[in-house]
Structure 1
Amino acid sequence: MHTSARIASSRPLATTAMHGRVESLRAEGVPVIDFSIAISHFPAPRPVLDAVAHAVERERTMPYTSVVGALDVRARLADKLRKENGIDADVGEIIVTNGAKQALYEALYTITDPGDSVLVFKPHWPAYVATSQLLGLRPILVELPDAITPQLLDSLETPKVVIINNPHNPTGKVYTPVELEHIRAWVERIGARVIVDESYEHLIFDGAHTSLAALCDWRKIGVITIFSASQSYAMMGWRVGFALAPAEVVNAMQTLQGPITAAAPHLSQVAADVAFATGAPTEMMADYRQRRDLAVRLFAEVPWIVMHAPASGPYLWGDVRSLTMDTVGFAERLIEEKKVAIMPGDALGVPGFIRLGYISDDVATLRDGIRRIIEFGDAYKAVKR
């Protein structure tokens, strides 16, 4: 059957494709350790589970809500933004979505036209580039620097939209208030819109999270901020998040969301309502810190990889350029020979690196998976000599 030209040149996201491959192998009885994505071994917060169970028992039938989300849920999300992020927000400026991906798609769809340019710092979450390409936009990929400076920003091509991921997947970079001020001044000067993905706002080990929208007149500039319950609250499968945007953008996003999915599921909204009110997940982050530090120690003496402890996030970003630039081939052979799945840096725009999600399964599995990677890399290096 004929498919459209716009989809014929597109490919599934590498991240979800690798995870799907792991599921297929496991269904065949092959025991694969999956570091390709980050699925927390923690359950959703207890208040979330209790609230959803109570809603099922009390309501029996699950009502439709407004496409943008239930009014009371959005009111409490606005309160979260004021108290936790320092952002003045109104309920008419919030839309509840089926995860961050839907918010990203709708935001880009409603503020761009085909041919517009979108600046993305790499390495990048693959959805930024894939979504831009699906919409006929032109990605401008720029190496993520250690520090954002006015000189760097002024040297860049002027885009229509800038996408910022703070905290950053996969490097773990946490933007400082000074860096965000530089970005604010730059986009104001060039007239670009900004989409800020703050899905990992609570997954911070070092430093502190600052919302760009708290530092500026975000309505005037045109800042869209995306939040997700998936990682910050270990709710990957609940598929719920929300976006803060100027009211006219939210109205446009609602126009798009209505015929696609309508509102996010009622129970997911109940879950989000409670999750975003629980604050930072301190117990979960203490566990993640121990895992992060363990993984970094296990790689510390390995000569062919450089693995820094990330300041945030559920991923490790390993530099294997001294071993190979063919990280796609490295990942393919690793899953075939050692039954460990990782994400090659090529999928995130930077060959020569690998990304590992370290929060799944138990610590023994984490140790075993890293041992297999090291054994494989040592043998890979020996063959190349």
Structure 2
Amino acid sequence: MRISKRIASASPLATTAMHGRVDQMKLQGEEVIDFSIAISHFAAPEAVRRDVSDMALHDVLPYTAVGGAHGLRARLVEKLKMENEIDALPEEVIVTNGAKQALYEAMYAMTDPGDTVIVFRPYWPAYLATARLLGLEVVLVDLPEVLTAGLLDTLPPARLLILNNPHNPTGKVFARDELDLLEGWLARTGCGAIVDESYEKLLYSQPHHSLSSAGQWRKLGIVTIFSASQSYAMMGWRCGFAVGPADVVSAMETLQGPITAAPSALTQAACEAAFFSGEPHHLVADYQGRRDLVMDMLSPVKWMKVRIPDSGPYIWVDVTALGCDTVAFSERLLAEKRVAIMPGDALGMPGFIRMGFISDDIATLRKGMAAIVAFGNEINQDSR
């Protein structure tokens, strides 16, 4: 059977592929510590489990409108107003099977093959993979510590810019001043934007601001994506939504119809329950404690450069001082120490590694981090 050229040249996401390898090793009876991806040790909020259980046991589960039940979209409009200062209408909201579906549909609706898309590096691999599937030209720009007018002025003409705020994997949270500069640049250049705010609740020190809260998002062509996966420990629920100009959302619905139609009624019930379950203070406090523990363990290591993340479930580490290939480093670490990490190459930055710190218990977290440090020390010693 002939496979199409557009998919034959594509590869599975490195992040999910590594996690799949670890799962296979575990099925074969091997003990592996998996830091390659962030899967919360918390359960979904009680309200989510209760509401979905009640619906599954007692309610008829009908089809809903492709973009989501009107009542849910109206409720999400309330969430956007209260928490993100985004004024929207129900028809400007679309409910999706997680953030990835919203990303794909928004990029499909807002671009044509050959268009240029700007992506900051390091990047969530789905941004690049989706752009390639859609035949887009990607311009990679190194993520700055602070976004400045000078940097924005160096960017090339583009159809779309993708912003991840809070940022995966560095944990950077963009300040309001930075977003104001970006808004001005979008207005001057006519470039649209997709803003992924999936980690909006996982904040440790800096407040989160939505780019669309400035009020010109319709005119500027900004689509903002939200997800319950990380913010509410609901990875397997596949629960997300997006808000954008009505014509863009309508186009996304046109695409979503033949792909999946609406998310399941159970997913939609979970979506409403999650986004109105209150702030996940206990979850964030636990994650912050884990982050601080990892920073205490890694900061003294001479061959590591670690910046404390302001958000998210990952530690992003510069290991260029080891002078080794980070793909080979991660492969050897998995084979010899049974610890999985994500090489920065998969996120556009060789010489770096990404490590999730929210899975398993504290003892396992300590054990895995200690194994990584010991392994790197061996390499560092051998290179002398």
Band the TM-score falls in, shorter-chain normalisation: over 0.9
> 1:184·1:216 contact (CA, 8 Å) conserved in 2?
no
Distance between the aligned counterparts of 1:41 and 1:8, measured in 2? 36
Contact 1:122 1:144 in 2 (8 A): yes
Q: Do structure 1's residue 184 and structure 2's residue 176 form an aligned pair?
A: no
Question: After TM superposition, where is structure 1 displaced by more than 4 Å over at least 4 residues in a row?
Answer: none
Partner of 2:268: 269
Per-residue CA deviation, residues 197-236 of structure 1 (Å, 9 max, x unaligned), is 0000000101100001001311111100000000000000
Match of 1:351 in 2: 350
1 CA distance for matches of 2:192 and 2:39? 32
> 1:279: how far off?
3.1
The answer to whether the Cα contact below 8 Å between 1:327 and 1:354 also exists between their aligned partners in 2 is yes
CA distance in 1, matches of 2:69, 2:352: 42
Partner of 2:31: 31
Distance 1:94 1:306 in 2: 41
1:200-239 equivalent positions in 2, closer than 5 A: 200-239=199-238
Distance 1:349 1:190 in 2: 26
Q: CA RMSD in A?
A: 0.8
Q: Which amino acid aligns with 2:265?
A: H
> C-alpha distance in 2, partners of 1:125/1:99?
15
**CA distance in 1 between partners of 2:297 and 2:49 (Å):** 35
Write the distance in 2 (CA, Å) between the matches of 1:174 and 1:280: 18
Hey, what does 1:3 align to over in structure 2?
3
1:358-377 to 2 correspondence within 5 Å? 358-377=357-376
Instruction: Name the amino acid aligned to 1:28.
Output: Q
Per the TM alignment, residue 12 of structure 1 is displaced from its structure 2 partner at its CA by 0.3
Q: Residue 167 of structure 2 corresponds to which residue in structure 1? A: 168
Distance 2:247 2:260 in 1: 20
The 5 A counterparts of 1:223-302 are 223-302=222-301
Secondary structure in 1 matching 2:138: strand
1:306, distance to aligned residue in structure 2 (A): 1.5
Could you say what secondary structure the match of 1:231 adopts? Answer: coil
CA 18–74 in structure 1, closer or farther in 2 if over 3 Å, else same: same
Aligned-pair distance for 1:325? 4.6
Once the two structures are superposed, residues 229-255 of structure 1 have per-residue CA deviations (whole angstroms, 9 ceiling, x without a partner) of 000000000001000011111110011
Whole-angstrom CA distance in 2 between matches of 1:325 and 1:248 = 49
User: In the TM superposition, what whole-angstrom CA distance separates every residue of 1:2-46 from its partner, at most 9, and x where no partner exists?
Assistant: 111111111000000000000010011111100000000000001
Give the number of aligned pairs. 384
Q: How far did 1:324 drift? A: 2.8
Please state if 1:328 is matched with 2:327.
Answer: yes
Aligned to 1:50: 50
**Which amino acid is 1:46 matched to?**
E
Q: Does 1:378 align with 2:380?
A: no
Which stretch shows the higher mean deviation, 318-327 or 121-130? 318-327
What 5-or-longer segments of structure 2 have no aligned partner? none
Q: Secondary structure at the match of 1:95?
A: strand
CA distance in 1, matches of 2:101, 2:25: 28
The 1-side partners of 2:333 and 2:203 are apart by 30
- One-letter amino acid of the structure 1 residue matched with residue 6 of structure 2: R
**Is 1:331–1:343's contact at 8 Å kept on the other side of the alignment?**
yes
Query: What SS is found at the alignment partner of 1:213?
Result: helix
TM-score normalised by L of structure 1: 0.99
CA contact (8 A) 1:315 1:355 kept: yes
For 1:13, give the aligned amino acid. Answer: L
Tell whether the 8 Å contact from 2:204 to 2:311 is kept in structure 1 after alignment: yes
Measure, in 2, the Cα distance between the counterparts of 1:27 and 1:288: 28
- The residue type paired with residue 49 of structure 1 is R
Q: Which amino acid aligns with 1:22?
A: V
Asked whether the 8 Å contact 2:87–2:215 carries over to 1, the reply is: no
- Cα-to-partner distance string for 1:252-273 (whole Å, 9 max, x where unaligned): 0011001001111110110010
1:114 matches 2:124: no
CA distance in 2, matches of 1:295, 1:128: 28
Query: Letter of the aligned partner of 1:262 in structure 2?
Result: A
Q: What residue in structure 1 maps to residue 13 of structure 2? A: 13
Q: Distance in 1 between matches of 2:103 and 2:137?
A: 16
Contact 2:86 2:215 in 1 (8 A): no
Counterparts of 1:213 and 1:63 in 2: how far apart (Å)? Answer: 33
Instruction: Give the gaps of 5 or more residues in structure 1.
Output: none
Q: Percent identity?
A: 57
Structure 1 partner of 2:318: 319
Partner of 2:147 in structure 1? 148
The CA distance in 2 between the partners of 1:357 and 1:324, in whole Å, is: 23
User: Cα offset for 1:308?
Assistant: 2.1
Task: Give the TM-score taking structure 2 as reference length.
Answer: 0.99
Q: Please, which moves more after superposition, 373-382 or 94-103?
A: 373-382
1:324, 1:114 → 2: CA distance? 38
SS in 2 for 1:164: strand
